[in-house]
Amino acid sequence: MSADFPAYSPSEEHELLRRTVRDLADAKIAPGAAEVDETADFPQEAHDALVQNDLHAVHIPEAYGGAGADALATVIVIEEVARACASSSLIPAVNKLGTVPLLLSGSEELKKRYLAPLARGEAMFSYALSEAEAGSDAASMRTRAVRDGDDYVLNGAKMWITNAGVSEYYTVMAVTDPEQGAKGISAFVVEKSDPGVSFGPKERKLGIKGSPTRQVILEDVRIPASRMVGAEGTGFKTALATLDHTRITIAAQALGIAQGALDYAIGYVKERRQFGRPVADFQGVQFMIADMAMKLEGARQLTYHAAIKSERAMLGERIPDLTFISSACKCLASDVAMEITTDAVQLLGGYGYTRDFPVERMMRDAKITQIYEGTNQIQRVVMSRQLLK
């Protein structure tokens, strides 16, 4: 009977992976998280630890030198890194975001050339869709790519690009035919070393401060036409199809941040004494902890379910509700992370409001998960369109 039930809970191997990543994150990433937040420096030590343990881009298929981990394993890696340091979790998450366009639509030549250095830990990838005037309405982008012989010449500026400046490679969406709207957008791989590529200053942010967010400025950047990802005019579809897989990784980041805050709050309320007893003895505190854990587990189940669907889609199965479920888990997990981290600050009282304790950082870090890879209003646009079409 059990064989007829397609299980979507993690296997023993997934749980072993979780323990491995948690041990690594506790030992090598968590100790630097407060300093990364304070200095807003890129978490190089975390990056190096992830690379040494082959955890920086686990999703890269074995055919391109990667670990070939499935989407659920990738979620678990991101979740466990985010539990320690949200900024560091954007290393595996954005390495996936930048490369899914190639995995979905790229030529064999592009995959071989660009995925192998990432798998070896010699390069990172970023994803450049947004512009200053084209965020939620991503199809209104202005960055142009004009064909010139065997090349394309790119001009424009992509805004808010995570890990910009650190990444060697960028999947850039640009307009190849302004008359065609979304169908006139194409995707390209741009290298940091391409002449004409530069970066804006680091944005000064509320959270995820160790993850650099910068403009990618393209001035007469000439690249061979072979660097186009998929056919001309398919870049916007590839960009959105990518998000169907990677909104799940933002859900994973949100789960990890929330778990970190919940774990810390549980430890604290058992130690902190008021009225002659641990504050954990008060039912008002107990009910908050119960609600936090309940919401987190609900969001986790939806996210893991979405990850399984993502993996099946990557293996070639048609999953009609992938767009809905990836939006749903990102929206739910990020809203839950905001609630849980806010409650964690509450449970630490005045101490929670200070930088001497990690939960205020987690609350600031959680906020971005409601905004990027599409704001949670846009997730509701995506979900309702799927339901009403």
Instruction: List, by residue number, the catalytic residues.
Output: 373
Position 33 contacts ligand FAD (CB under 6 A)? no
- Tell me the C-alpha distance between 115 and 381, whole Å: 33
- Tell me the C-alpha distance between 176 and 51, whole Å: 36
- Tell me the C-alpha distance between 25 and 35, whole Å: 15
- Tell me the C-alpha distance between 64 and 267, whole Å: 43
- Tell me the C-alpha distance between 239 and 292, whole Å: 34
Position 134 contacts ligand CAA (CB under 6 A)? no
A 10 A CB-CB count for 266 gives 15
Contacts of 222 (CB under 8 A, 6+ apart): 148, 151, 152, 153, 154, 194, 195, 196
Position 125 contacts ligand FAD (CB under 6 A)? no
Q: Which of residues 82-121 bind ligand CAA (CB under 6 A)?
A: 94, 97
Nearest CA among 61, 181, 97 for reference residue 374: 97
Position 381 contacts ligand FAD (CB under 6 A)? yes
Residue from the set 128, 221, 265, 340 that interacts with ligand FAD by CB under 6 A: 128
Amino acid identity of 228? M
- Work out what residue 377 binds among ligand FAD, ligand CAA, none; the CB cut-off runs from 5 to 8 Å by kind: ligand FAD
Q: Which of residues 144-163 bind ligand FAD (CB under 6 A)?
A: 160-162
Residue from the set 36, 129, 172, 261 that interacts with ligand FAD by CB under 6 A: 129
Instruction: Look at strands 185-191 and 228-229 and give their pairing.
Output: antiparallel
Position 375 contacts ligand FAD (CB under 6 A)? yes
Instruction: Look at strands 213-224 and 277-278 and give their pairing.
Output: unpaired
Q: Which of residues 212-251 bind ligand FAD (CB under 6 A)?
A: 213
Nearest CA among 48, 213, 46 for reference residue 127: 213
Q: Which of residues 161-180 bind ligand FAD (CB under 6 A)?
A: 161-162
- Tell me the C-alpha distance between 278 and 15, whole Å: 32
Position 210 contacts ligand FAD (CB under 6 A)? no
- Tell me the C-alpha distance between 337 and 333, whole Å: 6
Residue from the set 176, 310, 323, 341 that interacts with ligand CAA by CB under 6 A: 323
Q: Which is nearer to ligand CAA, 153 or 383 (CB)?
A: 383
Q: Which is nearer to ligand FAD, 301 or 377 (CB)?
A: 377
Q: How far is the CB of 128 from ligand CAA (least distance, A)?
A: 8
Q: Which two tokens stand for residue 181?
A: 């709207």
Which position's Cβ is nearest ligand FAD?
135
Residue from the set 138, 159, 285, 302 that interacts with ligand CAA by CB under 6 A: 138
Position 143 contacts ligand FAD (CB under 6 A)? no
Q: Which of residues 312-371 bind ligand FAD (CB under 6 A)?
A: 368, 371
Q: Which two tokens stand for residue 13?
A: 């191997």
Q: How far is the CB of 18 from ligand FAD (least distance, A)?
A: 26
- Tell me the C-alpha distance between 175 and 154, whole Å: 9
Position 373 contacts ligand CAA (CB under 6 A)? yes
Position 136 contacts ligand FAD (CB under 6 A)? yes
A 10 A CB-CB count for 13 gives 12
Where do contacts with ligand CAA occur on this chain (CB under 6 A)? 94, 97, 127, 129-130, 136, 138-139, 162, 182, 236-237, 240-241, 243-244, 250, 323, 372-374, 378, 381-382
